[in-house]
Amino acid sequence: MAAPAITPAARARDSVPIFQSFFIFPPGVMFFQASGLQQLRCSTCAGLRGVVNCLPGQRDESVTGEQVGMAIQTWGERPAPSRSPRLQPSSHFMFLSYAQTLEALLIQRTASHATRFAVSETFWDGYLRAHPLSRPAVVRRPFSEPLTTPEELFQGITLAATDARAGRPNELRLYLGDPKMVYRHTAEYLGDRYWELLPRAEDGSLGGYAERLRARHGYTCFALMLNNCQTVVPRLWFRLRDFYSGLFERTGFLRGGTDCNLFAGNYRATPFGAHTDDQDVFTVIIEGRKRLLAWPPKVFQEMEQPLSENPHDYQRYRSRARVLEGKAGDLLYWPREYGHVAESVDEGLVTTLSLGLDRGSTATSWVEAALSEVIGEALSEEKQAAPLPFRKSNRPRAARSLPRDFTVALKAAQSPKAAPRLERALRLRWLGWVTGLGLKPPPEVPVPKLAKSDHVQADAGYPILCVPWRDELHIAANGFSVAFPGAKGHAALIRALNRGKPLTVGNALEQFSERSTRASTRLLLSKLIAFRALEKLTAEK
């Protein structure tokens, strides 16, 4: 019997349509209206099977407008009118949990929105010859395809805004104010209004969001900043890995790490005025036109004292700045020593990504983080937070005795087990750091139960790292790391996967594990899928 034709699920997903709108139902289920249903059915149902949560009693990935209404009634609460899209009987929808949405929403593509970003083999050699990293530079449209699109980034912004409203950790900031952001409103000033003023998916785009701010709330200028935006745009993380890896092959790997911060809005100048960064920065202009004034270190040192009272008062130093200006597709660069301020060239919308290179990390900071992890295992956060007994007359005696949790921490650090635990924590953290190039990865993806007939495939270009240590096997990929018991066959399994050829789950269990370790092998495969190091393949029909 011939084996079925296999394609990675990511390829099957290329034709998934852009979702037109979504909102959140009370149980935390996201609702999407999609176009191109027939294309969706034939191309992606198999790829998304196990990811899509259907309505109660439904076994299909798509449901109609009437079924949406029935679902609302079943859940007992309707969405607020201001957030309800128009439900047409012929409309089709998909239901996904929030965690699943992060992966499913951001993997979709259409021909008009596809971005096949790649950094050519010769790009960094040519760039570094022409532009030393010690000086600012502008490069006109260096890449044949864009790093990302405004549409993809706006979807990421709305997911971050959803996190903010739900009280989940996020790195989104919003500034509202005058064009130069000298006088601006932030979350602290806006209070509860802040949540309504954040972007929503029904805004449709950055332009739609700007129009809602103007029409409903009276704000004409805004600035959105999203640090580590690649964590809500997973495909962007992989493109950034390609961008940074070519550079590091030529300059060496910075253990301080990398990041990607999004700046979007119609503001005329950086909200916090002229400043220096802790990182060297590449800025990719995604939408609009951008100008950057960059002052050499000696010049900016003269400016720092006058600007300390008002960092927006930089115009008198304008003639001494180097001007970097670009439009969509262009790349700007400046070293961290250069003081700078960003400006828009006109009053239009601008979206940029700042790609940072951190030269500042030291071995001390790495050991401190690992030691904190080791000691933290011995401490209870609740007990640490508890108030200590206090009497004014007893202060000298109290000062001579360390709090109990301090003593526990010291004993943990002095324990014979502390040194190997510290080494283990450092090794695991370093493995993840190297495989992710110091770039914070998106959250792990939910993994459906694997069948023996399922095929999986790794990316041979970015192999999974596997390092034996004592009686463990340390495995890392795409910024994540995990320790597994040193089961027989696991290292051989990783070597087989790193060849980049499809492998069935059944064959992995039969060839690379014993009966007693098959559960561990299945867990390892699931972990690698969660890390996005393995692609679950779908059979072409």
CA distance 184 to 256: 32
Closest Cα to residue 61, out of 16, 22, 99? 16
Other CB atoms within 10 A of residue 120 CB: 12
Contact 348, 285 (CB under 8 A): no
CA distance 125 to 117: 18
Burial class from Cβ neighbours inside 10 Å (0-12, 13-18, 19+) for residue 174 reads buried
Q: Report residue 373 CA to chain centroid gap.
A: 23
Beta bridge partners of 356: 259, 281
Residue 363, amino acid:
A
CA distance 227 to 279: 14
Other CB atoms within 10 A of residue 128 CB: 13
Structure tokens at 462: 């970015």
CA distance 82 to 255: 47
Pure H helices in 83-199: 98-106, 123-130, 150-166, 187-190, 193-197
Other CB atoms within 10 A of residue 478 CB: 25
The model's pTM is: 0.76
CA distance 267 to 223: 6
The angle that helices 418-435 and 363-376 make with each other, rounded to 10 degrees, is: 120
217: enclosing H helix or E strand: helix 206-217
CA distance 46 to 54: 14
224: enclosing H helix or E strand: strand 222-226
Map residue 484 onto helix, strand or coil.
strand
Q: Report residue 432 CA to chain centroid gap.
A: 15
Beta bridge partners of 355: 260, 282
Burial class from Cβ neighbours inside 10 Å (0-12, 13-18, 19+) for residue 430 reads middle
pLDDT confidence of residue 512: 93
pLDDT confidence of residue 100: 40
Structure tokens at 424: 């283990």
pLDDT confidence of residue 93: 37
CA distance 334 to 366: 27
Residue 313, amino acid:
D
Contact 361, 257 (CB under 8 A): yes
HEC string for 317-348: HHHHCEEEEEECCCEEEECCCCEEEEEECCCC
CA distance 250 to 97: 42
Any idea which residue has 């602290």 for tokens? 188
Contact 307, 274 (CB under 8 A): yes
Closest Cα to residue 156, out of 219, 86, 206? 206
Closest Cα to residue 56, out of 19, 81, 88, 27? 27
How many angstroms separate the Cα of 429 from the Cα of each of 256, 367, 374? Answer: 13, 10, 12
What lies within 8 Å, CB to CB, of 1 at 6+ separation is none
Structure tokens at 271: 């909200």
Any idea which residue has 């951190």 for tokens? 358
Taking only the tens of pLDDT, the chain with its 541 residues reads 333 333 333 333 332 233 333 333 333 333 343 333 322 222 233 322 222 333 333 333 344 444 333 333 333 333 333 333 333 333 333 343 433 444 444 333 222 333 468 888 899 999 999 999 999 999 999 998 999 999 999 999 999 999 999 999 889 999 998 877 767 888 888 888 999 999 999 999 999 999 999 999 999 999 999 999 999 999 999 999 999 999 999 999 888 899 999 999 998 888 888 898 899 999 999 999 999 999 999 999 888 888 887 888 898 999 999 999 999 999 999 999 999 999 888 889 999 999 999 987 788 888 888 888 888 877 765 466 667 777 777 777 777 778 888 888 888 888 888 899 999 999 999 999 999 999 999 999 998 889 999 999 999 999 999 999 999 999 999 999 999 987 778 999 999 999 999 999 999 999 998 888 899 999 999 999 999 999 998 755 3
End-to-end Cα separation, the chain, in angstroms: 16
Q: Report residue 435 CA to chain centroid gap.
A: 15
Q: What are phi and psi of 256, to 5 degrees?
A: -70, -20
- For 397-400, the CB contacts below 8 A with 24+ separation are none
Contact 48, 62 (CB under 8 A): no
- In the DSSP assignment, the letter for residue 394 is G
Contact 541, 10 (CB under 8 A): no
Beta strands in 9-48 (DSSP E): 19-24, 29-34
Contact 232, 160 (CB under 8 A): yes
| Radius of gyration of the chain measured on its C-alpha atoms | 26
CA-based torsion, 498, 503, 508, 510: positive or negative: negative
How many angstroms separate the Cα of 24 from the Cα of each of 48, 50, 95, 194, 539? Answer: 20, 20, 10, 18, 32
